[in-house]
Structure 1
Amino acid sequence: MTYIQKGSRSFRKTSLAMFAGGFSTFALLYCMQPLMPEFSKDFGISPATASLSLSISTIAMAVTMLFVGILSDQKGRKIIMCCSLVGASAVGLLLTLSSGFLTLLILRMIQGMILAGLPAIAMTYLSEEINPAHLGYAMGLYISGNSIGGMGGRILTSTLTDLANWRTALGILALLSIVSSVLFWQWLPASRNFKRRKVRFSDTIRTLFVPCKDPALLCLYGLGFVFMGSFVTLFNYIGYRLSAPPYLLGSGLIGWIFVVYIMGTVSSTWMGRQSDRYGRYAVMGVAIGILLLGALLTLTGSLWVMIIGIALFTFGFFGGHSIASSWVGLLALEHRAQSSALYLFFYYTGSSISGTLGGIFYASFGWNGVILMITGYMTVALILNVVLKRRGASRNTTGKRPDATRTI
């Protein structure tokens, strides 16, 4: 096989293309989060209903990601990723013309399905084309594009909404995404190691069920669900709290709170290193504790203490998510691709279900209800972590199970 080598022109172009693609994908996906209070005002809907603008996209993407790999095996990696970016950007432009909230939701569902094309295939493309010795570096650039895109999309739309309105904000973001799509197409080298193959749909369904027979993997899927569910719930409704008395912050200022995403870059790397040193069970427990402490600090009346709490919450989330996602790769000795796909499925399903469920808690009990729900989720996370320890999964740091003959 002919691999792309670090330091080469192809490597730089590939890294830039993946950064641009990741940025565009997650900017489009999460741009709705700071706009939810605006939707409540414009369409006269509750916070829980407004949260569907994000939830319907993430669940559509989660389901589609399980199967889009089949299409890429038949048609090729680059063409599917490019179509995903262009198609999602085009739908982003159509969103600005939404006459009602139902129309917006239908378009967001379509956009979520189309967006699945890049995250479901990007890592496979990099694994096939990049020299394995330099894969970690290339993957890191792609993931950094994801996180910066998620942060940038939120900040951009909230700031532009303050200056104009949410339709203008979404239109400008869509135009920027089209530019990113063109750059992605120009920069990303054509696949050299891809081999076209036919995969039957029935085979894909059957292999997806195999990891679900493993209790340890199910625990990790549960962790992904409650982590992402807690994270999206807090950020879905913090805007409602900060835009109300006594804070009365505008959309632009609320959007800048998402700068705390930078904590995720530090947390995922640092906690991953600590989990290798002290064990995944112990460090996972610390991550859960930090996330819960941060959530509880947002109950205070002080804006600055709330911001510190949100930063701690974000630190704990990214740390826990990074440990859980890497843990899946260590425990899944077979069907690793399917195991990882299922983790992402539960992860984004947690976002969809919990993001809207949190709105019910918010409507019924205010901000205390949101934190009550997150506390319940973290209690479940602690239980799942204990189950993993008792089954011996926490001792696994080499990719080999303590007892390879037994299904954990």
Structure 2
Amino acid sequence: MSAFSGHVPGSRDYRMLLIGLFFGGVATFAQLYATQAVLPQIADDIGSGPASAALTVSASTLGLAAAVLPWSLVADRIGRVPAMASGLVVATVLGAATLLADDLVVLLTLRLLEGAALGAVPAVALAYLSEEVHPRHVAAAAGSYIAGTTVGGLSGRVVSGWVGELAGWRWGVASVILVCVVAAVIFLVLIPRARGFVSGRDREERGPTVRRRIGVNLRSPVQRALYAQGFLLMGAFVAVYNYLGFHLAAPPFSLAPALVTLLFLAYLAGTASSPRAGALAVRYGRFPVLALSIGVMATGVALMAVPALVVVVVGLILFTAGFFGAHAVASGWTPVAAAPEARAQASSLYYLGYYAGSSVFGWLLGVVFGSVGWFSFLVVVLAMCAAALGAALVSLRAVRPSP
């Protein structure tokens, strides 16, 4: 029997894998951001201020960032699919438990644990892809998974916001949990069993220890440049979405809150761009598509400096499409560029940098925005895009394409 070389487009398992991971992304990221659109209601119900209510989002992303490396170790032991399935089931139960929380500390604790459980999917999904899909098609497959994360992020915000405005934040979050249950069931039913996985015990007998696998990734210029993409570009992305609403609520725009909420629909640009970027990376190479995506991001940032609503919205769409294109390429490239025995740790380190960027710059650029205004804020965002492109030029441009 010939050795397994990975699923290819056109095969049933390839289709099932893409659909399954798409819904795994929905189930993960809808829960992660379920409270963001209902923060005012949470603040009123629990008796906390806006900043304290916003910690419900920060707690979940912090939990996810802290858990990605441990989940990669678990997945090396028990397998990729069992790890992802376990994380989704536990997270959904914890998400349902948040509906009963009447105390902010209890709510934050549950959100932290929920985020830690959700970390199983981003920690493992790309390593699973790199092992189960033929190397030539990993970039395209990763784009489909990233598309699922955009749909999840959008639905988590929009569904909870719409339902929460009518029935309160608990019903808003409950509606998202219901969506996640359906998505998780689809994931569990469709995801193919792993055929390219080598257990952690076999890895340890034949290769380096966990500490060495992490060290190998951190010493690699290619891996560090890929982690820089996640850290800088995600930081820029979250900061823009955090503070654009404040900018548009002030003159000369003076938009109502309900209209500002509709800005999240720009996420659909990422749903379209992430699989497209993956497909283009297969055809033209990862580096050109990554560089182009960062350029599209930067163009969107420049347009958002124009004091005209239509131009700002076009800029936001371009910025979002460029970000998710870059993220699809960089995240899919990370496990492929790593040593086979260190792929799960490579993906986990990417997401550690990704969510660290979200936490650091999501707050830090708020200080910039509050101190020196929107235009200077955008200059910093542009500088972050330029730094990411610079890191890619130095360390990724000369990387030989995967087969």
What TM-score do the two structures reach when normalised by structure 2?
Answer: 0.81
Q: Paired residues, what number?
A: 392
Match of 2:376 among 340, 354, 372: 372
Give 2:364's aligned residue.
357
CA shift in 2, pair 1:16/1:339, >3 Å: closer
The aligned amino acid for 1:63 is: A
Flag structure 1 segments of 5+ consecutive residues without an equivalent.
Answer: 401-408
Matches within 5 A, 1:330-341: 332=338, 335-341=342-348
CA shift in 2, pair 1:336/1:130, >3 Å: closer
Give 2:189's aligned residue.
186
CA displacement at 1:45 relative to structure 2: 2.5
Flag structure 2 segments of 5+ consecutive residues without an equivalent.
Answer: none
CA displacement at 1:10 relative to structure 2: 5.2
Q: Is the 8 A contact 1:328 1:339 kept in 2?
A: yes
Give 1:317's aligned residue.
323
The aligned amino acid for 2:148 is: G
* Aligned residues with identical type, % of pairs: 33
Secondary structure class of the residue paired with 2:100: coil
Give 2:94's aligned residue.
91
Match of 1:247 among 238, 250, 254: 254
CA displacement at 1:348 relative to structure 2: 1.5
Q: Is the 8 A contact 1:221 1:343 kept in 2?
A: yes
Distance 1:5 1:317 in 2: 27
Q: Is the 8 A contact 1:30 1:150 kept in 2?
A: yes
- Within the alignment, does 1:227 sit opposite 2:233 as a pair? yes
Match of 2:66 among 41, 63, 68: 63
Q: Is the 8 A contact 1:40 1:46 kept in 2?
A: yes
- Within the alignment, does 1:395 sit opposite 2:395 as a pair? no
Give 2:209's aligned residue.
203
CA deviation vs aligned residue, 1:322-352 (integer Å, no higher than 9, x gap): 4444564676567454333322211111012
What TM-score do the two structures reach when normalised by structure 1?
Answer: 0.80
CA deviation vs aligned residue, 1:109-149 (integer Å, no higher than 9, x gap): 11111001122223344444556677666544433222222
Moved more, 258-267 or 59-68: 258-267
Q: Is the 8 A contact 2:33 2:157 kept in 1?
A: yes
CA deviation vs aligned residue, 1:336-375 (integer Å, no higher than 9, x gap): 543333222111110122223334444545xx25x53453
Matches within 5 A, 1:127-166: 127-129=130-132, 139-166=142-169
RMSD, matched Cα: 3.6
Match of 1:76 among 79, 83, 86: 79
Moved more, 375-384 or 168-177: 375-384
Distance 1:215 1:135 in 2: 21
Distance 1:101 1:18 in 2: 33
CA shift in 2, pair 1:275/1:378, >3 Å: farther
CA shift in 2, pair 1:297/1:150, >3 Å: same
Distance 1:189 1:211 in 2: 28
CA displacement at 1:28 relative to structure 2: 1.0
CA shift in 2, pair 1:247/1:174, >3 Å: same
Secondary structure class of the residue paired with 1:177: helix
Q: Is the 8 A contact 2:138 2:332 kept in 1?
A: no
Distance 2:189 2:291 in 1: 44
